[in-house]
A and B are shown apart, each in its own frame.
Chain A
Amino acid sequence: MATLNVSVVSADGEVWTGDAAMVVARTVEGEIGVLPGHEPMLAILATGEVRVTLPGGEKITANAADGFLSVENNMVAVVAGKAELV
């Protein structure tokens, strides 16, 4: 199965980057889940959690504020002014 290439970046630097099976983020319109093969998208993030599920099933959670989510060709970028792993 294809995986997503996820990078979580904040203004100060890269917070986390790697492969994932699913990304769940909170946009201004509500929670959205991204699976491999998702159509290209640009969304504004609401302050809140971004949950990344790794191919092995483990979960990584990050807090993000003031940013956006972009999906393109199975590349997911969570770009936030402030972001940190929990």
Chain B
Amino acid sequence: MGAQLRVYRQRIRSANTTKKITRAMELISASRIAKAQARVKASAPYTRAITRAVSAVAAHSKVSHVLTTEPAHVDRAAVVIFSSDRGLAGAFNSQVIREALELEALLKSQGKEVVFYLVGRKAVGYFAFRKRASVRDWVGSTEAPTFDTAHELGQALLDAFIQDAADGGVDEIHIVYNRFVSMLVQQPHVVRLLPLEIVEGVEEAGENDVLPLYEFEPDADTVLDALLPAYVHSRLFNAMLESAAAKHAATQKAMKAASDNADKLITNYTRLANNARQSEITQQISEIVGGADALASQ
């Protein structure tokens, strides 16, 4: 067998092995998308109930809260980046990091100092490689986020928000995460988390509805004190779930592209190998014929 032919056969084998791996990963993430989406859906009643309650308090009492008031002067802003723990997801991580850095540039141009909170090993790796600082990071639970992580993250953010900027606190918190738009589209999305703007989800009262007069236990301030952090936690949890679903969709897309590419490579190399085999045979025949001619003419 000719050397060229051997090289082609080797490449075909290698592409085949890679294809097996990418195909398996594609199938795995395809099966996980449904589960991740179901979790996003399952958390919706909680988010809805909290939003309703918060808008009820906001609509029925005249209380202002530290989490909802705009600070007079923003010195420092925090950006939370939701990336994934694993790669092989196409542009998933790079697009969310790029979005976050654009946001950083924007905030800096407004004269604000920017600090980062990172979720997911990929963002942590990006920052570590560039020797950039981050306040805190969370890794290891991006595939199947738990509410405990969201709670911990929320608590850290709330603590930082309540602290004065002069003492190392922040005045503004933004979150950047990938949103699951469809199986094919995952879009990075920037939301300002704090100070809270509660405008969404306020239910319009019907004509015959009398707006209920709420009784608060113990009192409106305390209820709001407990509700708003819960609202923040649920928003963060929702971002984590969305990001997990988007990650699986992105992996599936990337792995499908890789499998298709492996198929293409295999076809190309098979053609080249056939060519090499054929030219080898042709050469052998012409050598034999040439040899026979030489013998006959003697």
Contact = CB atoms under 8 A, between A and B. Distances in A.
**Size band of the interface chain A makes with B:** 20 to 34
Contacts of A9: 45-46, 49
Interface in A61-81: 66-68, 70, 72-73, 77, 79, 81
Closest 3 A/B residue pairs (Cβ): A13-B42, A40-B212, A43-B217
B46 A72 contact: no
B56 A42 contact: yes
A7 B223 CA distance: 20
Interface string B118-137: 00000000000000000000
Nearest to B48: A9
Interface of A: 7, 9-14, 27-29, 32, 39-44, 66-68, 70, 72-73, 77, 79, 81-82
A41 B46 contact: no
B226 A11 contact: no
Contacts of B45: 7, 9, 13-14
A21 B236 CA distance: 35
A33 to B, nearest CB: 13
Nearest to A32: B217
Contacts of B215: 39-42
A13 B234 CA distance: 12
A42 B46 contact: no
B43 interface: yes
Interface in B227-242: 227, 230, 233-234, 237
A68 B46 contact: no
Nearest to A10: B46
Contacts of A68: 53, 223, 226-227, 230
A81 B147 contact: yes
A62 B50 CA distance: 19
Given A29-B217, A81-B151, 10 more contacts: A7-B45, A9-B49, A11-B234, A12-B147, A39-B215, A40-B215, A44-B222, A73-B212, A77-B52, A82-B147
